[in-house]
Amino acid sequence: MLFKYQYMIGMRVKNKGVVDMSVRNNFVKPIDLTNGIEFGIYSLGDLMRNPHNGQMLSEKERVKEFIEIAKMSEQAGIDVFDLGESHQDYFVSQAQTVILSAIVQATSKIKIASAASLLSVHDPVKVWEDFATLDLLSDGRVELIAGRASRLGALDLFGVDFQDYDAIFDEKFDLLQLLNRQEYVTWSGRFRPPLTNAHILPRPESGHLQLWRAIGGSVTSTVSAGASGTPLVLAHLSGPVSYHKKTLDLYRKTAQQHGYDPKTLPITTAGFFYTAKTTQQALQEYYPHVAAAFKLSNGQAFPNTSFAQATHPHSIVNVGDPEFLIEKLVYQHQEFGMQRYMAQIDFGGVSIDQIKRNIDLIGTKILPEVKKRTRTSS
């Protein structure tokens, strides 16, 4: 089993290493590395035209494609599939939990998670109810990754005041953690009506969900995640590994300062991933997708100079031939010490044939070697 299902606290520690079992328990499930790091596929749920041939899927076709990608990933031996949530043009996974429900019914082994659930614009109780139910449907395979709304459009759509953006997320995430720890909840805050001995149902199969906090590298979010003893998902776009290592070092340092043992807190890193027979072919095939997608969703293309850095072995952009990507992932694991890596292979209208080719290469060439070289003794 990839998880050892004993519950740890993201342990808060007293002086001289004595564990204080009276403190709040975040029910962190550590990832077992005896078989190597976990590898996953994630999608942000975009719906965009293929820049190479101009083809465009219908909304129906794209939604069903997420299910197909998850099934192919499971068949290839990939550990996790995550689906994002966005509320803007050029995206189609607004009803994230509905699609995830179809995915858990179409699969049987692969772990399923959000990437991420936009907690800033939703009620934590409803988010909890949805994911606890998904976990029951999946026989205990579901995880919940909570993140902020990355664009103002989602805040406007759901009537969330940007002036209170930080405080709203922090309050909602604290409540979500409380819902995960307790079946009966009494709580009060600024932005939601209070709860008085509320019975929080249903409960997930094991009683608790694996909760993660997704960040893009901001200092404020990093410190908050570490201070709360929450497993971290670090999404990155470009730059050297050394730059992003500083974020993870800050997270671990903050967790330790707040009495948590960083060794018990799982870390996931996530970013662009694409493989082909040669690195040059991979760059030529994938960059037009990323450039066009960024222009549509962010108003400007992703810089070619940043993407071209993928050819450097210490770049965080994982685009290249299988052998090159094996070396990059092993190096990143050595530097980051992450327990899971999530690959974004479908951004910007990548065809299902290219996605399938990537998944096949991951399953047959990349994943076996990466797992072998990142194993730890039991």
Spatial CA neighbour of 141 closest among 192, 237, 73, 89: 73
In a domain, 27, yes or no: no
In a domain, 4, yes or no: no
In a domain, 12, yes or no: no
Residues 217, 247: Cα–Cα separation, whole Å = 6
Distance, first Cα to last Cα, the chain: 12
Does the structure show a pLDDT above 60 at 3? no
In a domain, 118, yes or no: yes
In a domain, 1, yes or no: no
The pair of structure tokens assigned to 182 is 């307790």
Does the structure show a pLDDT above 80 at 17? no
In a domain, 183, yes or no: yes
- For residue 6, the model assigns a pLDDT of 34
Residue 317 neighbours by CB under 8 Å, 6+ apart:
237, 238, 271, 272, 306, 307, 309, 310
Q: Give residue-wise pLDDT tens across range 33-65.
A: 999 999 999 999 999 999 999 999 999 999 999
Residue 337 near residue 329 (C-beta atoms within 8 A): no
pLDDT average, residue stretch 167-172 = 92
Does the structure show a pLDDT above 50 at 370? yes
Does the structure show a pLDDT above 60 at 295? yes
Q: Give residue-wise pLDDT tens across range 233-255.
A: 999 999 999 999 999 999 999 99
Number of domains comprising the chain: 1
- For residue 160, the model assigns a pLDDT of 75
Domain that holds residue 182: 33-373
pTM of the model: 0.92
In a domain, 265, yes or no: yes
pLDDT average, residue stretch 324-330 = 98
SS3 90: coil
- In whole numbers, what is the pLDDT of the chain averaged over residues? 91
pLDDT average, residue stretch 302-311 = 92
- For residue 5, the model assigns a pLDDT of 30
- For residue 154, the model assigns a pLDDT of 72
* CATH at residue 148: 3.20.20.30
In a domain, 108, yes or no: yes
